[in-house]
A and B are shown apart, each in its own frame.
Chain A
Amino acid sequence: MYKYDHIDQTLVDQRVAQFRDQVARRLDGTLAEEEFRPLRLQNGLYHQRHAYMLRVAIPYGLFNSKQLRTMALISEKYDRGYGHFTTRQNIQYNWVTLEDTPDILAELATVEMHAIQTSGNCIRNITSDAFAGVAGDEYVDPRPICELLRQWSTLHPEFAHLPRKFKFAINGAKEDRTILLCHDVGIELKKNAQGELLADIYAGGGMGRTPILGSLIKTGLPWQLLPSYLTALLRVYNRFGRRDNLYKARIKILVKALSPEEFARQVEGEWLHIKEGDDNFTQAEWDRVAKHFTKPAYKDLPALTTDQVIAGASQADQAAFARWLGRNVKPHQVPGYASVILSLKPHGSVAPGDATTAQMYAIADLSDQYSFGELRATHEQNLVLADVEQAKLYELWQEAKKQKVALPNVGLLTDIIACPGGDFCSLANAKSLPIAKAIQERFDDLDYLFDLGDISLNISGCINSCGHHHVGNIGVLGVDKDGEEWYQITLGGEQGNDAAIGKVIGPSFYADEIPDVITNIINTYVQDRKDDESFIQAYRRLGVTPFKEAAYKNAKKKEKAAQVSGEDAS
């Protein structure tokens, strides 16, 4: 993985010093809270419901065991014994103090980590495929581009105060695991017949209160020209994005208002003036970065069939182990290896994506032992050991079970994506975590979950949709109505290549109704599905009506969903 050179290290160290001074000025009162706010946000520091929350960047989701141990140390020393992995491949601490934050950042800097631009109206941490570099369906390893753009966007002066936050995702595989079209800018990498690396650019996607899928605005951009093209794109947005209304300030609103064609034309017009020149990446820069993304020292191993792998387990374990292999283990580019997803969604968990200090230390050890000391954070809030020898999967499974990260629920109904909701977030209209827990407890039968197959359930505590409810097959959105917490259901959302925004089925429900509502929706699927149809396939064939009727059959009240409000936090 990428290793800082003296430039990266100097920049991160100097950034810590800068923020330390800003905090000192805040504490001595010379910097007003209102003026400090954008500064702290650009360093990932939120003021939450109960305390400060620090969001630490994990660029494109890739990290190593040493870094994880530092994350664990921070959770122990400065927080309450856990960290929360987010949908955008960051980690958050919910209970830090303002005074400690510079020390935490200094600690992070010792392991090449930071919290730069994990929040605020600037270019956020760039996300990518958690299986980058190892996925069987990959045609371009996106990581060198991710890293080059991480550097390019870090403390970019012109785009330090954009109209709103700005999120990049980068994909280079056949299957999109980045929800590319739900980002302000999605970069799809590919190679042409001559083997040249090119980028297709999608712009104007996003969730929040106005969910829109991004539009293709540029095809076949040579990778070297990414900085000048993205400068042009961001310059158009910076100059013409709406600043009069917080809710209309995202680039998606500008792209929609102008039309994708007109937006692309304006970007092109600006780009013409800057496309030649020093902004662009050079081969030397590529070489410096790309050398860190070479393959680890894989052994020459025979590829094993699943049956052979299962045969390595004891008789008593074989059924459970096979389940885990089926759900949590993914194919690898290299024979004899596999990628393993450690589930951070044990049933009845406090919060999807949480890892305790002890778990973090233990998982760091597992990565050293089984996966070259590297890890990845996924969009679904799980962790990945990307390079595990097939022959060691059984051993790893046994170790992972001890840490309670071996539940074979990846991709199943209880692999819930959820934001921290009203338990922590000051923007939330309703709680997310108790809803997630109640659903996990209701659907605690693994046989049944396996029978249901692939299905995504995403929960957001407010319209800002940090829990990405719009792209869940089943989405749950917390809404406030006259001071009460209500929950609105969307169906038909989907991430991946067939990305779709779910549709609201009707009036919202009380919290205690939700497990029954989900049960009724699921029962309808089980009743009406054909052959091997997944939930989303059945939904697309049957339409919303049978699901909607089932959802409301026991509803206590059928009232209109509340008008929702709040600022976009994620």
Chain B
Amino acid sequence: MSQTNTPSSNTIAAHDQVLHFPKGSKPSLAPNVWLIWSGSQDEGGLPDLEHGPANITKVLVPFSWWVQHHNESDIAAKAKEGKIGVWFAADEDILKHEQLIEVGKTVWPVVAAHFPIFRDGRSFSTAALLRDRFQWQGEIRAIGDVLIDQLLQGARVGFDSFALRPDQNTDVALKQFDLFSVTTQNSWRGLRTTRASLSA
């Protein structure tokens, strides 16, 4: 299976197709154009997208890196072109960066939240906060150790795109969102069936 982002020390691996599941639409696959940069080797600044794979044209940078570098002119210029998004680490306390995120909302085409391992659910709460507290309307992408069986939960807390781990089967992944036709608690996607079926 070809991979957009070959696992290396300074990127986070992802499937070459991104699973998009916008609210109100059907899930679908599209080529992944975002490099997920880990920021681990940042002496040279942003990774060179010009000389990499042709389909990779944009970069998701660690939010902590953005905090340090967003005022630099070349970064600001790239961001203005819509070529930079940020990703939040699982232990990032986004509520401590309210102002920066408010400004970022006008710049980032996409934000992401990272799963260091599939069974670490912190990014579910990050996504929920981005939707509820920050009213982030744009895309939120799940990145990292994203497996088929997390998709449903992710879709309900606020994720609308998924950079699956490269070994995951996209056919199985696409079917996950049809598994349940009812819910018993609210989510970003809608009111719980148990409430919607009753008059308030």
Contact = CB atoms under 8 A, between A and B. Distances in A.
Interface of A: 7-8, 10-11, 14-15, 17-18, 22, 25, 30-31, 35, 38-39, 121, 151-162, 227, 235, 238-239, 243, 273-274, 278-279, 282, 284-285, 288
A158 B200 contact: no
B185 A282 contact: no
Given A39-B149, A238-B124, A243-B120, A285 B194 contact: yes
Contacts of B187: 157
Given A155-B183, A158-B121, A161-B121, 5 more contacts: A157-B154, A159-B124, A160-B150, A161-B120, A284-B198
B147 A35 contact: yes
B119 A121 contact: yes
B85 to A, nearest CB: 22
A25 B121 CA distance: 23
Interface residues of B, number: 40
A285 B198 contact: yes
B97 interface: no
B20 to A, nearest CB: 18
A273 B132 contact: yes
Contacts of B163: none
A285 B120 CA distance: 32
B157 interface: yes
B124 A161 contact: yes
Contacts of A38: 118-119
Interface stretch (B55-63, B70-78, B174-182): B174-182
Contact of B195 (A18, A235, A243, A285): A285
A282 B195 contact: yes
Contact of A7 (B126, B132, B194): B194
Nearest to A243: B120
Contacts of B197: 7
A162 B121 contact: yes
A158 B198 contact: no
A164 to B, nearest CB: 11
B28 interface: no
B124 A288 contact: no
Contacts of A22: 149
Contacts of A30: 169, 172
A11 B125 contact: no
Contacts of B80: none
Interface string B115-145: 0001111101110110011000000000000
B200 A284 contact: yes
A239 B185 contact: no
A22 to B, nearest CB: 7
A156 B156 CA distance: 9
Contact of B182 (A11, A159, A161, A274): A11
A279 B120 contact: no
B198 to A, nearest CB: 4
A155 B129 CA distance: 19
Interface of B: 93, 118-122, 124-126, 128-129, 132-133, 147, 149-150, 152-154, 156-157, 169, 172, 179-187, 191, 193-195, 197-200
Contacts of B154: 157
Contacts of B150: 160-161
Given A160-B121, A282-B198, A284-B199, A14 B128 contact: no
Given A157-B153, A284-B200, A151 B194 contact: yes
A279 B195 CA distance: 10
A498 to B, nearest CB: 36
B185 A152 contact: yes
A284 B195 CA distance: 8
In the A-B complex, the 9 residue pairs with the closest CB atoms: A161-B121, A157-B156, A157-B153, A284-B198, A151-B184, A160-B153, A158-B124, A7-B182, A238-B125
Given A38-B119, A278-B195, A157 B124 contact: yes
Nearest to A37: B119
A155 B119 contact: no
Contacts of B153: 157-158, 160-161
Contacts of B195: 278, 282, 284-285
A11 B179 CA distance: 9
27 contacts: A7-B194, A14-B180, A14-B182, A18-B180, A30-B172, A35-B118, A39-B149, A152-B185, A153-B185, A155-B180, A155-B183, A155-B184, A157-B156, A157-B187, A160-B124, A161-B150, A161-B153, A235-B125, A238-B124, A239-B93, A239-B122, A273-B132, A282-B198, A284-B198, A285-B198, A288-B194, A288-B198
Given A243-B120, A278-B191, A227 B132 contact: no
A550 B124 CA distance: 54
Contacts of B93: 239
Nearest to A277: B186
Given A160-B124, A161-B119, A239-B122, A152 B179 contact: no
Given A235-B128, A239-B93, A285-B195, A7 B184 contact: yes
Interface centre among B149, B153, B181, B197 (most CB of A within 10 A): B149
Nearest to A42: B149
Contacts of B191: 278
Contacts of A279: 185-186
B21 to A, nearest CB: 13
A15 B152 CA distance: 12
Interface centre among A18, A31, A153, A158 (most CB of B within 10 A): A158
Contacts of B125: 158, 235, 238-239
B135 to A, nearest CB: 11
Interface centre among A38, A154, A157 (most CB of B within 10 A): A157
A209 B101 CA distance: 41
Interface centre among B120, B169, B186, B200 (most CB of A within 10 A): B186
Contacts of B180: 11, 14-15, 18, 155
A300 B158 CA distance: 55
A278 B121 contact: no
Nearest to A287: B198
Contact of B179 (A14, A235, A238): A14
Interface centre among B93, B133, B184 (most CB of A within 10 A): B184
A278 B153 CA distance: 19
Nearest to A244: B91
Given A14-B181, A157-B153, A282-B200, A238 B122 contact: yes
Nearest to B194: A7
